[in-house]
Structure 1
Amino acid sequence: MKNLTVPFLAILIALAFSACQPTAKLSEDKIESTSGEYTVPYFEDTARVSKIIKYTSVVDSIFARSAKLNHNPAIAYGIVVDNKLVYANSVGYSNIEKKIPATSKTRFRIASMTKSFTAMAILKLRDAGKLQLSDAASLYIPEMKNLKYPTTDALPISIFNLLTMSAGFPEDNPWGDRQLSDTDEDLLRLMKEGVSFSNTPGAEFEYSNLGYALLGKIIANVSGKSYQQYVTENILLPLNMNDCGYEYETMPADQVAVGYRWEDQQWKPEELLKDGSYASMGGMICTIEDFAKYMSFLLSVTPSTNQEEVGPVKRSSAREMQQPWKFTVLAPKRKARNGEPCPATGSYGFGLGWRIDCSGRITVSHSGGLPGFGSVYQLFPDLGIGVVAFSNLTYASMGVPVSQVVDTLIVLADLKKRAIPVSPTLKRMQEDLMKALLTWENQYDHLFAENFFPDKSKDRWQKETADLFANIGAIKNVSAMRPENLLRGTFTIAGEKGELNVFFTLTPDTKPKIQELDIFVKE
């Protein structure tokens, strides 16, 4: 197997220095006709869910060990597979004093995991034509018009900047957490009096709770409703997330987890912060069972389909949230859990973190932390799986046990990416290409794009392929295509003495032609 570390580093560097910009408002015209080439990718293993369930005792042991090691009063957790909650469990007490066990129905404050709901609400307003991501935030919060920027060449903060945490505000985790119960007046007063910038807008990613508080205010001003009401009516209720909300005082007390900190070798209750103007950055309270419904929706939008829209936002908008919009980190020395080098790069989407590692595994996730609480959820769109965990310990680091659970399940259940069906055009081109490779007669010239023979002459192709075929001997079998997408893929030619891999990619013409071809000995 080829060593992927060096070429992957090149990819990481390219990603690190690429810049993503907000797109113009998309047309509301619905796509009515399709090419007929697309078939939805699918998981070949029909027993994948039962395999995962088989190893839930291992999952339980990981969380139980983590709770004991890190003094978590409770951890509630769940596994979502193929758009449904397939397993949920918990360990410990949601209320130590009253000895109330935590369950999948216990309501925990999920802190910054709230942010993706805020991003989704912004995109819903965008899709309705109420705003554009490239708009200056001051169009909707006039109090921001007189901000003093670091330089004269800075662009005013846009909604896109707020979504991607690139507004130039300083990292504000310790400070921002304590602003949760501030009033709208407090937030607007801060804007009127001015803020300090650490960077010019758009220059860099820097984690900003303030930015997401401002997004909440934009949602309220544009919709004419409070942020909490808009999210509840337009996201939570459509997903039947009936046990999620923002104000703990409106919830049954015995169903709300008490937050604790571990200090002086004992658990000490933390004051539960009230709802306020910073709700959009970290105020949501939710259960594992309800949050799994949200995770299921986010996972359901991959891959693309021709089905009717049934979610709180368009599937394309939910996929848009899960893209790497703003580069955050390059980790060339990162190692996998087995100790092998596995570089990774990270970016921030819209209310969601995004990472890809040397194996090509994409993780979409967000953590949350507040006094008394810590949480995380990780989604793996290519694998159709997600894991979530809530805890009632101050800034509990739930990423470690959740990552251990995911890595364990991927190995033990042998989880694979979806199979991509071969498009009619790709299959037809493979059949015609096989005929051309054997003779290179003029009757097959129409298969190749205008660049093909100028890039390498037909005589050269004929000589090189003849040598390759001679080396593998008489042809015994030609495999099916292994597509990368609708217009690119690889197949294998098996001979008596060896095998050849044949890769080709097609042009964007109405009648696609071969623009690139690579034939090499299979190792």
Structure 2
Amino acid sequence: MHAGPLATLLVFAILLGPARAAPVDYAKRAAALIEPYRESGLMSGTILVAKDGKPVFRQAYGLANREWNARNTLDTHFRIGSLTKQFTAAAILQLVEAGKLSLDDPVGRFYPEAPKAWGDVRVRHLLNHTSGIINYTALPDYLPAISRIERPAKALVELVTGEALLFEPGARVEYSNTNYLLLGLAIEFASGEAYARYLSEHIFSPLGLKDTGYDDATAILPRRASGYRFGQGQWRNAAPMASSVAYAAGGLYSTVDDLLAWDDALFSGRVVSEASRQNMFDDGGRGYGFGWYVGTAHGRTLWSHGGAVSGFLAMTDYYPQERLAVIVLANNENAPAQKMSRELAALWFGALHLPEPIVLEDFILDRYAGTYRLGPRFFLDIRRDGGRLMVQGKGQGTWQPANAFVPESDRTFFSRVIDARITIDTEPDGRPNGLVLHQNGRDRIAPRIDPAEAARILAEPRRPPVEVSLDPVRLSPHVGRYSLAPGLVLTVGLENGRLWAQATGEPRHILYAEDERAFFMKSLDARITFEGDGAGRTTGLVLHRGGLDTPCPRIPESRPPPGRDGAVRGKSDSGSAARSSGVVKRGDRD
């Protein structure tokens, strides 16, 4: 779970004030809204909210460099990940207006090495993620290998040219960063300029975006933020990532002020024509236009995009009818950027509804302090902190920051930051004997346990798994889709005699068999146990990770997403059957 304490009861009193506010009042309430995230360390970065192009809340939080204790400021440079796509899309539309490209140009015009299977893919399919080309950042070795090696864009595209299309071009939306690598190549082909130079001379400089550019880790960039993640109980530097890997899909840096200026320029017609801008936000009812998600939030039209590259998260939301912009940039992989952005908008619209806390006597809170066993090797340590409970998760190799829960009743406590509740179970005399954690649509029971026993369990060495060989025929009953949480699916597929598992928005992981139902991963500290009925049918699985066991029921009549078994089959240049990855949509992630 994401972690982070809530602020004091005074903060809630501020938040629960009048729903609609003048900008000055809004700034105070917005600061109070973000305070729990700042207090926990979850928010490290900058936030800007603007109405009619004018900031109504603008604030920097946390550290740009933890090793030098250098603070973030409003002019700190952050990597913006997939927010880059809207700049790439605008550049394509400029070149279309100049007659140098057409939205109906085939990929082969600017990428002659394209396989025959891509023959029907057009520029517009790349822009709106309907090409069917798989996502190179979802390849199994992307994080440990691909992302760490500098290589040209064409070399990155080559990683997937042997893969089959996931579907016929134009059939549906499937988010793929590979689409925007190819668009970067299209910009270079049509303009005769390098991608970074084109953006600099035709977008950044004309618009006065002096704090936006193509990120080159070898260059000296003043006020550059370092990226971090929280893991194993402490802050760590984010995994290294080669600058060239993100390219036109996510390679830019910027500031909140520059991104607001970009919004103003784009929406006022200073970047592309009105006709091109209409194309950009015409999603055809599929939820994605050209470089922007198109949807609704709080009952209003919303144009948005998120970004995530190693150590950084970004979110930009724009409500066109209200001309309200919310921009969040963070140098922390744990920051809930989208959650904060949507809450800030809800606060402006008067749509933020928070449970009202109560005050409990200290002796009641002290009574609940202790250790609770949430999983085989995962525990919750609870202590009192003023009028709230501080809850910290501890597993074998997994330590989370303390997270604050405020009382809603004498036995129920709520954390807005992680959208979770705990209900304390008690004996008739009031002594606690356990709790129930309500989160992500699940209820987890955690009996109270002696802290010394918990420490003993965590200290026990785990038996290393031993791989066995199984006939692929015995593996096929496990292939399907399993419900991991609301909106999250764990897909299991079969390739080359091995099962693989992939959660929504994450890379694939190979499963290695311990027996016919028990499997482990080498790329991730996790195991899976499949469950079945008396007829030999697989009905669900249990994901064992971080000391927790998570049951995942099988989605009825489910099969893997179009991929190995259902891809649009084509031939690679070598004549062998093209392969597919079973990639799922990555949403805000790069």
If the length of structure 2 is used for normalisation, what is the TM-score? 0.52
Q: Work out the CA distance in 1 between the residues paired with 2:75 and 2:307.
A: 19
CA shift at 1:318, angstroms? 2.5
Q: 1:85 to 1:313 in 2, by over 3 A?
A: farther
Q: State the SS of the aligned residue for 1:382.
A: coil
Which has a greater percent of strand? 2
- For 1:87, which of 48, 57, 74 is the aligned residue? 57
Instruction: Answer whether contact 1:83 1:297 (CA < 8 A) is retained.
Output: no
> What is the alpha-carbon root mean square deviation over aligned residues?
2.6
Aligned counterpart, 2:317: 378
Aligned counterpart, 1:54: 25
State the AA in 2 paired with 1:240.
G
Aligned counterpart, 1:244: 212
Quick check: 1:147 aligned with 2:116? Answer: yes
CA shift at 1:172, angstroms? 5.0
Task: Report 1:206-285 matches (<5 A).
Answer: 206-249=174-217, 252=220, 255-276=223-244, 278-285=246-253
Quick check: 1:401 aligned with 2:340? Answer: yes
Instruction: Answer whether contact 1:82 1:300 (CA < 8 A) is retained.
Output: no
Q: Work out the CA distance in 1 between the residues paired with 2:60 and 2:133.
A: 38
Aligned counterpart, 2:152: 183
Q: Work out the CA distance in 2 between the residues paired with 1:160 and 1:228.
A: 21
Q: Work out the CA distance in 2 between the residues paired with 1:125 and 1:271.
A: 36
CA shift at 1:248, angstroms? 4.0
Q: State the SS of the aligned residue for 1:261.
A: strand
CA shift at 1:253, angstroms? 5.1
Q: 1:351 to 1:231 in 2, by over 3 A?
A: same
Aligned counterpart, 1:388: 327
Instruction: Answer whether contact 1:78 1:89 (CA < 8 A) is retained.
Output: yes
Q: Work out the CA distance in 2 between the residues paired with 1:259 and 1:85.
A: 26
CA shift at 1:250, angstroms? 6.4
CA shift at 1:372, angstroms? 0.3
Task: Report 1:107-506 matches (<5 A).
Answer: 107-144=77-114, 146-148=115-117, 156-175=120-139, 179=147, 181-187=150-156, 189-190=158-159, 193-249=161-217, 252=220, 255-276=223-244, 278-300=246-268, 311-325=270-284, 327=286, 347-356=287-296, 359=299, 361-394=300-333, 396-411=335-350
What's the CA shift string for 1:15-74, capped at 9, x where partnerless?
Answer: xxxxxxxxxxxxxxxxxxxxxxxxxxxxxxxxxx982232112212222322444x4361
Quick check: 1:72 aligned with 2:47? Answer: no
CA shift at 1:277, angstroms? 5.8
State the AA in 1 paired with 2:116.
L
Instruction: Answer whether contact 2:153 2:181 (CA < 8 A) is retained.
Output: no
Quick check: 1:103 aligned with 2:43? Answer: no
Q: 1:383 to 1:247 in 2, by over 3 A?
A: same
CA shift at 1:215, angstroms? 0.4
What's the CA shift string for 1:135-176, capped at 9, x where partnerless?
Answer: 2111121111x3336xxxxx6100010001011123555446
Query: How many residues of Structure 1 are paired with residues of Structure 2 in the alignment?
Result: 328
CA shift at 1:190, angstroms? 3.7
Q: 1:376 to 1:114 in 2, by over 3 A?
A: same
Q: State the SS of the aligned residue for 1:80.
A: strand
Q: Work out the CA distance in 2 between the residues paired with 1:389 and 1:278.
A: 20
CA shift at 1:247, angstroms? 2.7
Q: Work out the CA distance in 1 between the residues paired with 2:284 and 2:266.
A: 17
Q: State the SS of the aligned residue for 2:315.
A: strand
Q: Work out the CA distance in 1 between the residues paired with 2:223 and 2:206.
A: 22
Q: State the SS of the aligned residue for 1:255.
A: coil
Q: Work out the CA distance in 2 between the residues paired with 1:255 and 1:215.
A: 30
Aligned counterpart, 1:36: none
Q: 1:408 to 1:258 in 2, by over 3 A?
A: same
State the AA in 2 paired with 1:184.
A
Aligned counterpart, 1:476: none
CA shift at 1:278, angstroms? 3.6
Instruction: Answer whether contact 1:352 1:364 (CA < 8 A) is retained.
Output: yes
Q: 1:315 to 1:83 in 2, by over 3 A?
A: farther
Instruction: Answer whether contact 1:259 1:372 (CA < 8 A) is retained.
Output: yes
What's the CA shift string for 1:369-402, capped at 9, x where partnerless?
Answer: 1110111010001001100001111263311011
State the AA in 1 paired with 2:36.
R
Q: State the SS of the aligned residue for 2:350.
A: helix
Instruction: Answer whether contact 2:157 2:178 (CA < 8 A) is retained.
Output: no
Q: State the SS of the aligned residue for 1:242.
A: coil
Instruction: Answer whether contact 2:81 2:246 (CA < 8 A) is retained.
Output: no
Q: 1:113 to 1:188 in 2, by over 3 A?
A: closer
Q: State the SS of the aligned residue for 1:387.
A: strand
CA shift at 1:188, angstroms? 5.3
What's the CA shift string for 1:391-444, capped at 9, x where partnerless?
Answer: 11126331101100001012289xxxxxxxxxxxxxxxxxxxxxxxxxxxxxxx
Instruction: Answer whether contact 2:228 2:237 (CA < 8 A) is retained.
Output: yes
Instruction: Answer whether contact 1:371 1:395 (CA < 8 A) is retained.
Output: no
Which has a greater percent of helix? 1
Instruction: Answer whether contact 1:171 1:207 (CA < 8 A) is retained.
Output: yes
If the length of structure 1 is used for normalisation, what is the TM-score? 0.58
CA shift at 1:121, angstroms? 0.4
State the AA in 1 paired with 2:64.
S
Q: Work out the CA distance in 1 between the residues paired with 2:21 and 2:204.
A: 29
Q: State the SS of the aligned residue for 1:120.
A: helix
Q: 1:119 to 1:223 in 2, by over 3 A?
A: same
CA shift at 1:252, angstroms? 4.6
Q: State the SS of the aligned residue for 2:244.
A: coil
Q: State the SS of the aligned residue for 1:143.
A: coil
Gaps of 5+ in 2: 1-19, 353-590
Q: Work out the CA distance in 2 between the residues paired with 1:300 and 1:385.
A: 14
Instruction: Answer whether contact 1:258 1:272 (CA < 8 A) is retained.
Output: no
Q: Work out the CA distance in 1 between the residues paired with 2:213 and 2:230.
A: 27
Q: 1:282 to 1:141 in 2, by over 3 A?
A: same
Q: Work out the CA distance in 2 between the residues paired with 1:262 and 1:314.
A: 44
State the AA in 1 paired with 2:263.
M
CA shift at 1:274, angstroms? 3.6
